Amino acid sequence: MTINLIVAVVFGYLLGSIPFGLLVTRAAGLGDVRKIGSGNIGATNVLRTGNKRLAALTLLLDMLKGTAAALVAGHFAPELGLVAGFAAFIGHIFPVWLGFKGGKGVATCLGVLLGLSWQAALVFAVVWLALAFLLRYSSVSSLAAAVAAPVFLYFTGHTDLAIVFAVMSAIIWIKHHANISRLLAGTETRIGSKG
Protein backbone atom coordinates (compact mmCIF):
# COMPACT_ATOMS: atom_id res chain seq x y z
CA MET A 1 0.00 0.00 0.00
CA THR A 2 2.91 2.33 0.72
CA ILE A 3 4.14 1.99 -2.88
CA ASN A 4 0.62 2.72 -4.14
CA LEU A 5 0.46 5.88 -2.03
CA ILE A 6 3.81 7.07 -3.34
CA VAL A 7 2.76 6.41 -6.94
CA ALA A 8 -0.54 8.27 -6.34
CA VAL A 9 1.28 11.26 -4.86
CA VAL A 10 3.86 11.43 -7.67
CA PHE A 11 1.22 10.93 -10.38
CA GLY A 12 -1.10 13.55 -8.91
CA TYR A 13 1.68 16.06 -8.27
CA LEU A 14 3.18 15.80 -11.75
CA LEU A 15 -0.24 16.07 -13.38
CA GLY A 16 -1.12 19.07 -11.23
CA SER A 17 2.22 20.70 -12.02
CA ILE A 18 1.40 21.14 -15.71
CA PRO A 19 1.14 24.98 -16.06
CA PHE A 20 -1.68 25.14 -18.57
CA GLY A 21 -2.19 28.90 -18.21
CA LEU A 22 1.40 29.52 -19.20
CA LEU A 23 1.34 26.93 -21.99
CA VAL A 24 -1.88 28.11 -23.67
CA THR A 25 -0.93 31.81 -23.62
CA ARG A 26 2.50 31.06 -25.08
CA ALA A 27 0.97 28.80 -27.73
CA ALA A 28 -1.40 31.64 -28.67
CA GLY A 29 1.53 34.03 -29.07
CA LEU A 30 0.64 36.13 -26.04
CA GLY A 31 3.94 35.66 -24.25
CA ASP A 32 4.44 34.88 -20.58
CA VAL A 33 1.22 35.32 -18.58
CA ARG A 34 3.35 35.73 -15.45
CA LYS A 35 4.41 39.16 -16.75
CA ILE A 36 0.90 40.66 -16.75
CA GLY A 37 -1.70 41.45 -14.11
CA SER A 38 -1.15 39.50 -10.91
CA GLY A 39 1.62 37.39 -12.43
CA ASN A 40 -0.46 34.30 -11.69
CA ILE A 41 -0.76 31.36 -14.12
CA GLY A 42 -4.46 30.78 -13.43
CA ALA A 43 -7.54 31.49 -15.53
CA THR A 44 -8.35 34.84 -13.88
CA ASN A 45 -5.00 36.26 -14.89
CA VAL A 46 -5.19 34.70 -18.35
CA LEU A 47 -8.47 36.62 -18.73
CA ARG A 48 -6.44 39.81 -18.30
CA THR A 49 -4.89 39.12 -21.71
CA GLY A 50 -8.34 39.96 -23.08
CA ASN A 51 -8.80 36.49 -24.51
CA LYS A 52 -11.86 34.91 -22.92
CA ARG A 53 -11.48 31.65 -24.83
CA LEU A 54 -7.97 31.10 -23.52
CA ALA A 55 -9.12 31.91 -19.99
CA ALA A 56 -11.96 29.39 -20.30
CA LEU A 57 -9.57 26.79 -21.72
CA THR A 58 -7.14 27.38 -18.85
CA LEU A 59 -9.95 27.01 -16.33
CA LEU A 60 -11.11 23.78 -17.93
CA LEU A 61 -7.63 22.26 -18.15
CA ASP A 62 -6.68 23.27 -14.60
CA MET A 63 -9.92 21.69 -13.39
CA LEU A 64 -9.52 18.51 -15.41
CA LYS A 65 -6.03 17.75 -14.12
CA GLY A 66 -7.50 17.60 -10.61
CA THR A 67 -10.42 15.49 -11.79
CA ALA A 68 -8.17 13.12 -13.74
CA ALA A 69 -5.82 12.64 -10.80
CA ALA A 70 -8.71 11.81 -8.46
CA LEU A 71 -10.52 9.51 -10.89
CA VAL A 72 -7.53 7.57 -12.23
CA ALA A 73 -6.00 6.90 -8.80
CA GLY A 74 -9.45 6.40 -7.27
CA HIS A 75 -10.06 3.59 -9.75
CA PHE A 76 -7.58 1.51 -7.74
CA ALA A 77 -8.75 2.59 -4.26
CA PRO A 78 -10.93 5.50 -3.03
CA GLU A 79 -8.27 6.76 -0.64
CA LEU A 80 -5.74 6.87 -3.48
CA GLY A 81 -8.09 9.16 -5.39
CA LEU A 82 -8.15 11.57 -2.48
CA VAL A 83 -4.37 11.44 -2.11
CA ALA A 84 -3.72 11.95 -5.83
CA GLY A 85 -6.27 14.76 -6.01
CA PHE A 86 -4.66 16.58 -3.10
CA ALA A 87 -1.23 16.06 -4.69
CA ALA A 88 -2.51 17.55 -7.97
CA PHE A 89 -3.77 20.58 -6.04
CA ILE A 90 -0.35 21.00 -4.41
CA GLY A 91 1.33 20.46 -7.78
CA HIS A 92 -0.66 23.31 -9.32
CA ILE A 93 0.33 25.68 -6.53
CA PHE A 94 3.95 24.55 -6.31
CA PRO A 95 4.90 23.23 -9.78
CA VAL A 96 8.40 21.84 -10.05
CA TRP A 97 8.70 23.20 -13.62
CA LEU A 98 8.25 26.83 -12.52
CA GLY A 99 10.45 26.93 -9.46
CA PHE A 100 7.48 25.97 -7.25
CA LYS A 101 5.65 29.23 -8.09
CA GLY A 102 2.26 28.36 -9.53
CA GLY A 103 -1.40 29.27 -9.25
CA LYS A 104 -3.75 29.60 -6.31
CA GLY A 105 -5.40 26.21 -6.73
CA VAL A 106 -9.05 27.23 -7.07
CA ALA A 107 -9.83 25.54 -10.41
CA THR A 108 -7.80 22.45 -9.52
CA CYS A 109 -9.61 22.21 -6.17
CA LEU A 110 -12.91 22.31 -8.03
CA GLY A 111 -11.67 19.61 -10.37
CA VAL A 112 -10.69 17.34 -7.48
CA LEU A 113 -14.13 17.93 -5.95
CA LEU A 114 -15.72 16.97 -9.25
CA GLY A 115 -13.82 13.69 -9.22
CA LEU A 116 -14.69 12.84 -5.64
CA SER A 117 -18.07 14.47 -4.92
CA TRP A 118 -19.99 16.06 -7.78
CA GLN A 119 -22.53 17.42 -5.27
CA ALA A 120 -19.83 19.38 -3.42
CA ALA A 121 -18.41 20.53 -6.75
CA LEU A 122 -21.85 21.85 -7.67
CA VAL A 123 -22.06 23.76 -4.37
CA PHE A 124 -18.60 25.20 -5.02
CA ALA A 125 -19.51 26.25 -8.57
CA VAL A 126 -22.88 27.78 -7.61
CA VAL A 127 -21.35 29.83 -4.80
CA TRP A 128 -18.51 30.99 -7.05
CA LEU A 129 -20.79 31.94 -9.95
CA ALA A 130 -23.36 33.67 -7.78
CA LEU A 131 -20.82 35.86 -6.01
CA ALA A 132 -18.89 36.52 -9.22
CA PHE A 133 -22.10 37.72 -10.86
CA LEU A 134 -23.09 39.88 -7.88
CA LEU A 135 -19.72 41.32 -6.83
CA ARG A 136 -17.40 40.80 -9.86
CA TYR A 137 -14.50 39.83 -7.61
CA SER A 138 -12.90 36.49 -8.47
CA SER A 139 -11.07 36.46 -5.14
CA VAL A 140 -14.22 36.84 -3.03
CA SER A 141 -15.98 34.16 -5.08
CA SER A 142 -13.05 31.79 -4.70
CA LEU A 143 -12.64 32.33 -0.96
CA ALA A 144 -16.35 31.81 -0.28
CA ALA A 145 -16.61 28.74 -2.52
CA ALA A 146 -13.52 27.21 -0.92
CA VAL A 147 -15.27 27.41 2.47
CA ALA A 148 -18.68 26.29 1.23
CA ALA A 149 -17.46 22.96 -0.17
CA PRO A 150 -15.93 21.46 3.02
CA VAL A 151 -18.85 22.76 5.10
CA PHE A 152 -21.25 21.00 2.73
CA LEU A 153 -19.17 17.81 2.88
CA TYR A 154 -19.10 17.89 6.67
CA PHE A 155 -22.85 18.34 7.07
CA THR A 156 -23.58 15.61 4.53
CA GLY A 157 -21.53 13.09 6.49
CA HIS A 158 -18.34 13.02 4.39
CA THR A 159 -16.00 13.83 7.27
CA ASP A 160 -12.77 12.55 5.70
CA LEU A 161 -13.36 14.52 2.52
CA ALA A 162 -14.38 17.57 4.54
CA ILE A 163 -11.10 17.53 6.47
CA VAL A 164 -8.96 17.28 3.35
CA PHE A 165 -10.90 20.00 1.56
CA ALA A 166 -10.78 22.20 4.66
CA VAL A 167 -6.98 21.98 4.43
CA MET A 168 -7.18 22.87 0.74
CA SER A 169 -9.48 25.76 1.60
CA ALA A 170 -6.98 27.05 4.17
CA ILE A 171 -4.21 26.90 1.56
CA ILE A 172 -6.39 28.78 -0.93
CA TRP A 173 -7.00 31.49 1.68
CA ILE A 174 -3.26 31.75 2.40
CA LYS A 175 -2.52 32.01 -1.34
CA HIS A 176 -5.05 34.85 -1.55
CA HIS A 177 -3.41 36.93 1.18
CA ALA A 178 -2.51 39.71 -1.26
CA ASN A 179 -6.07 39.73 -2.65
CA ILE A 180 -7.48 39.98 0.87
CA SER A 181 -5.23 42.95 1.58
CA ARG A 182 -6.39 44.65 -1.62
CA LEU A 183 -10.03 43.92 -0.81
CA LEU A 184 -9.61 45.56 2.58
CA ALA A 185 -7.88 48.52 0.94
CA GLY A 186 -10.52 48.78 -1.79
CA THR A 187 -7.98 48.28 -4.59
CA GLU A 188 -8.80 44.73 -5.71
CA THR A 189 -9.41 44.43 -9.46
CA ARG A 190 -12.73 43.12 -10.71
CA ILE A 191 -13.33 40.25 -13.13
CA GLY A 192 -12.58 41.34 -16.69
CA SER A 193 -10.21 44.12 -15.66
CA LYS A 194 -6.77 44.11 -17.27
CA GLY A 195 -5.23 45.88 -14.30
Residues 64-100 pLDDT 10s:
999 999 999 999 999 999 999 999 999 999 999 999 9
* Mean pLDDT computed over 151-156: 98
Residue 120 lies in a domain: yes
Of 167, 2, 24, 11, whose CA–CA distance to 91 is shortest?
A: 11
Residue 191 lies in a domain: no
Predicted confidence (pLDDT) at residue 169 exceeds the cutoff of 90: yes
The DSSP annotation for 4-58 comes to HHHHHHHHHHHHHT--HHHHHHHHTT---GGGSTT---SHHHHHTTT-HHHHHHH
Predicted confidence (pLDDT) at residue 194 exceeds the cutoff of 70: no
Residue 193 lies in a domain: no
CA distances (Å), origin 120, targets 1, 21, 63, 110? 28, 25, 14, 9
Which pLDDT band, with edges at 50, 70 and 90, does 124 fall under? very high
Residue 48 lies in a domain: yes
What total number of domains does the chain contain? Answer: 1
Give the residue numbers spanning the domain of 165. Answer: 2-185
Residue 90 lies in a domain: yes
pLDDT value at position 30?
84
pLDDT value at position 64?
97
Residue 96 lies in a domain: yes
Query: How much is the mean pLDDT over the chain?
Result: 93
Count of residues in the chain: 195
